[in-house]
Structure 1
Amino acid sequence: MGFPGTWMTESESMVYRVVPKCACSTIGQIMYYSDHGTFFDGDIHDSKNGLHKWAQDDSQPLIERNVKAHKSFAFTCVRNPYQRILSSFFDKICGIQRNGKRYRGNLVPQLAQKYGVEVGSPETDFDFDQIKSFRRFLLFARDTIRWRKPMEPDIHWSAMSGHISTFIVNGGRYDHIFYTEMFNDGMQVVLDKTRHKHAVDLKKIPRFNESEGHGPKRAHPVEEYFDDLSRHLVWEIYKRDFQLFKYDFDNPGNKLPIGQIDLDEVHAKLGD
């Protein structure tokens, strides 16, 4: 299986396991900048050179050799599950993608037909009942994860622990896992522990939110999207994420963690 979703700087200064919707665009650009002194012109997910990626055949043997020997500092980043699933909904389901089309072609019409999800449109200024539609989307997300119907789960809403575990199961070990909500503090640890050709000043790094501005703005506080049933579904999908990464399940309005990540616990529980 190898190391899907893994990126590595060309200098092999650092190795990163991508978790979608967890600041991955910004992290990728920082990695790129640390080697080249410039940012990639465009969405870093589209880069074909300047950064080793498991999806690039030429990079695979280099990444595999590095990770299995633990030659470089390896890390990943996580995000509050309530915030992450909401972000996935507004970006991937409601938003217009970089190519000017809806995400995954017929996915949105299928959601409208089978689950009654409304998403609005740019022509109507994305006017729709966000709370009702999000809760219906959440049912769909649960169905894809629990029963793999009506489709396989999408990487943007499948559990973070699932992404993170593949790196461990196939022979990797993380040196650091940090929080999107405390991004500068967490990323600074990575920079302090690694050598790079070009110095990175996190206070001057822009946030590369490639999905921003392509869909509706969230109209309500996070907690208003999650009634009792919604929270039950979130627990069913993301129980392990809450437990391992120490997020507050009881209060959807609290995006900050309530404990410290125990790397030994993560490796033990995700390495099965």
Structure 2
Amino acid sequence: MGFPGTWMTESESTVYRVVPKCACSTIGQILYYSDHGRFFDGDIHDASEGLHKWARDESKPLITANVKTHSAFAFTAVRNPYSRILSSFFDKICGIQRNGKRYRGNLVPLLIQKYGIEVGGPEGKEEFDQIRSFRRFLLFARDTIRWKRPMEADIHWSSVAGHVSTFIVNGGRYDHIFWTEKFDEGMQRVLDSIETRHRIDLAQIPRFNESAGHGPKRAHPVEDYFDDLSMHLVYEIYKRDFELFRYDFENPANRMPTGEIDLDEVHAKLGD
């Protein structure tokens, strides 16, 4: 299986396991800058040079050799399940993508037909009942994750633990896992642990939110989207994420972690 979703700097200073909706655009641009002294012009996910990616055939043997020998500092970032699934809804379901089209073609029409959701009209700009539609999307996300119907789960709402685990199962080991909610602190530890060709001042780094402007703005606080049933569904889907990465299931309003991540526990529980 190898190391899907894994990026590595060309200098091989660090290896990063991408987790969708967990600041991956900003992290990728920082890694690109650390080697080249400039940011990639465009969405870093489109970069076909300047950064090794598992999706590039020429990068696979280099990434494999580095990870298997643990030659570079390996890390990833995680995010609160409540805010992550909500972000996925507004970006991927309600939003018009950067190619000017809806995400995954017939996905949104399917959701409108089978789950009765609204997405703000053809341009995603009309008012609609965001809370009701999100809760219906949550049922769809649960169906895709638990029963793979009406389709396989999408990478943007499949669990963070699932993404993180492939790196471990296939022979990798993380040196650091940090919370996107404490981004500067977590990313600074990465930078302090590696040699970079170009110095990076995190205070001066812009946030590359490639999903910004894709869809309607969230009209309510995070906690308003989750009633008791929604919280039950979220826990059913993301139980390991809450437990391993120390997020507060009881309070959707609390986006911050409640304790430290135990790397040994993560490797033990996700390495099976």
* Interval containing the TM-score (normalised by the shorter chain): over 0.9
* 1:11 CA displacement: 0.1
Aligned partner of residue 57 in structure 1, secondary structure: coil
Q: For 1:213 and 1:243, locate their aligned partners in 2 and report how far apart those are by CA, in whole Å.
A: 32
Aligned equivalent of 2:264: 264
Aligned equivalent of 1:62: 62
Matches within 5 A, 1:132-147: 132-147=132-147
Aligned equivalent of 1:201: 201
Q: For 2:157 and 2:74, locate their aligned partners in 1 and report how far apart those are by CA, in whole Å.
A: 23
Q: For 1:123 and 1:65, locate their aligned partners in 2 and report how far apart those are by CA, in whole Å.
A: 46
* 1:214 CA displacement: 1.6
Aligned partner of residue 139 in structure 2, secondary structure: helix
Please tell me whether the aligned partners of residues 126 and 215 of structure 1 are also in contact (alpha carbons under 8 angstroms).
no
Aligned equivalent of 1:50: 50
Q: For 2:33 and 2:11, locate their aligned partners in 1 and report how far apart those are by CA, in whole Å.
A: 12
Q: For 1:84 and 1:232, locate their aligned partners in 2 and report how far apart those are by CA, in whole Å.
A: 16
Change (3 A) 1:123 1:40: closer
Aligned partner of residue 105 in structure 1, secondary structure: coil
Change (3 A) 1:24 1:123: closer
Aligned partner of residue 258 in structure 1, secondary structure: coil
Please tell me whether the aligned partners of residues 242 and 249 of structure 2 are also in contact (alpha carbons under 8 angstroms).
yes
Q: Deviations over 1:18-48 (max 9, x none)?
A: 0000000000000000000000000000000
Aligned equivalent of 1:126: 126
Q: For 2:2 and 2:130, locate their aligned partners in 1 and report how far apart those are by CA, in whole Å.
A: 39
Q: Deviations over 1:134-193 (max 9, x none)?
A: 000000000000000000000000000000000000000000000100000000000000
Change (3 A) 1:148 1:250: same
Q: For 2:142 and 2:94, locate their aligned partners in 1 and report how far apart those are by CA, in whole Å.
A: 18
Aligned partner of residue 77 in structure 2, secondary structure: strand
Structure 2: segments with no counterpart, 5+ residues: none
Q: Could you tell me the percent identity over the aligned residues?
A: 79
Q: How many residue pairs are counted as aligned between the two chains?
A: 272
Aligned equivalent of 1:14: 14
TM-score normalised by L of structure 2? 0.99
Q: For 1:14 and 1:196, locate their aligned partners in 2 and report how far apart those are by CA, in whole Å.
A: 9
Whether 1:246 aligns to 2:246 is: yes
Q: For 1:205 and 1:155, locate their aligned partners in 2 and report how far apart those are by CA, in whole Å.
A: 26
The letter for the 2-side match of 1:187 is: M
Aligned equivalent of 2:107: 107
Please tell me whether the aligned partners of residues 82 and 222 of structure 2 are also in contact (alpha carbons under 8 angstroms).
yes
Please tell me whether the aligned partners of residues 5 and 55 of structure 1 are also in contact (alpha carbons under 8 angstroms).
yes
Cα RMSD after superposing both structures: 0.8
Aligned equivalent of 1:87: 87
The letter for the 1-side match of 2:119 is: V
* 1:123 CA displacement: 5.2
Q: For 1:124 and 1:67, locate their aligned partners in 2 and report how far apart those are by CA, in whole Å.
A: 42
Aligned equivalent of 2:98: 98
* 1:126 CA displacement: 2.9
The letter for the 1-side match of 2:128 is: F
Q: For 1:257 and 1:13, locate their aligned partners in 2 and report how far apart those are by CA, in whole Å.
A: 28
The letter for the 1-side match of 2:40 is: F
Please tell me whether the aligned partners of residues 14 and 74 of structure 1 are also in contact (alpha carbons under 8 angstroms).
yes
